[in-house]
Amino acid sequence: MFRIKNSELPTPNSELVVQDKGFTLIEIIILIVMAGILLPAIIVPFVTGVKGSGKPEMATTAMYFAHKRMEELMKYNYCNAALNVTAGSVVFTTGGEPNYTGQNNIAYVNNTFATSGSDVGYKMITVTVTDPQGSTYNVYSVVTRF
């Protein structure tokens, strides 16, 4: 049997101590300030990663256009007019993608692939495609007369 002492029982005039289990205003303000400092440090790398996630797709698309143009040019033999050496680059369309620009250049080269001023039997075809972010992608090939 348990006995309770009279001193442990509350009297009608005594105050009961209430212990609240919550956060104070200062604790909430400190939490908001800390979140304001930490969240940008977490979000900035995430946003940067999301922005760059389209880059592999753009690179693949640009290389597709470059290889497609190279295949169009490589079907001709050395003496064909389509492979005439020009003074500058020739702009070509990338087939429905206005944000990608392409150009090709055909130049005489020697057997070490250095630019040559005259026809020694080698022509280098350079195809360059630029993606919407301004990165360029190059594809090279050499056609011989032999």
Cβ contacts of 91 within 8 Å, gap of 6 or more: 101, 102, 103
Q: Residue 2 has what pLDDT?
A: 59
Question: pLDDT tens across 109-135, in order?
Answer: 998 989 988 899 999 999 999 999 899
pLDDT surpasses 90 at 87: no
pLDDT surpasses 70 at 21: yes
Q: How many helices (H) and strands (E) does the chain have?
A: 2, 4
Only one residue has tokens 């470059």, namely: 66
The pTM of this model reads 0.63
CATH of domain 57-144: 3.30.1300
Using 50, 70 and 90 to split pLDDT, how confident is the model at 145? confident
What is the C-alpha end-to-end distance of the chain, expressed in Å?
Answer: 115
Task: State the Cα–Cα distance between residues 34 and 89, nearest whole angstrom.
Answer: 57
